[in-house]
């Protein structure tokens, strides 16, 4: 069993799922791989913060990213990419230091 995701990771997974084309709650929940209780609370917050737009069509609800949501998702992706690069650079530095020691 893996570690529990942070709230930020949960929000990013939902934004990414919606940005990838999932529009119904069940689709988003499935793509983001979240339980219903975690999903509904997180989705509610993202809608309240104006990152996701909720449109009602009769009994059905459709979710889309707002412009702010798209910008936030882009920033999160860039941040994740930057940390991945820093981490790989750090690993390279560690390997160089190990070679110097040996």
Q: Model pTM?
A: 0.79
Q: What is the CATH number of the domain that holds 44?
A: 1.10.10.10
Q: Is the dihedral of CA 40, 41, 42, 46 positive or negative?
A: positive
Residues 6 or more apart whose Cβ sits within 8 Å of residue 68: 50, 51
Assigned domain for 2 exists: no
Q: What tokens were used for 70?
A: 């798209």
Assigned domain for 25 exists: yes
Q: The domain containing residue 68 runs over which residues? A: 7-101
Q: What tokens were used for 62?
A: 């459709």
User: From the CB of residue 60, how many other CB atoms can be counted at a distance below 10 Å?
Assistant: 10
Assigned domain for 85 exists: yes
- What per-residue confidence (pLDDT) applies to 81? 76
Assigned domain for 83 exists: yes
The per-residue pLDDT string of the chain (102 residues; one tens digit each, 9 = 90 and over) reads: 567 888 988 999 999 999 999 999 999 999 999 999 999 999 999 999 999 999 999 999 999 999 999 999 999 888 887 777 665 555 555 455 555 555
* Domain count within the chain: 1
Rounded CA separation 34/13 (Å)? 9
């Amino acid at each position: 069993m893996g570690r529990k995701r942070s709230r930020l990771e949960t929000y990013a997974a939902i934004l990414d799922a919606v940005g990838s084309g999932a529009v119904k709650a069940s689709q988003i929940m499935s793509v983001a791989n979240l339980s219903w209780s975690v999903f509904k609370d997180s989705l509610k917050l993202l809608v309240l913060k104006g990152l996701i737009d909720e449109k009602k069509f009769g009994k059905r609800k459709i979710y889309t990213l707002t412009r702010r949501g798209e910008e936030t998702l882009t920033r999160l992706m860039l941040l994740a990419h930057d940390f991945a690069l820093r981490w790989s650079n750090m690993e390279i530095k560690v390997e160089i230091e190990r070679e110097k020691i040996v």
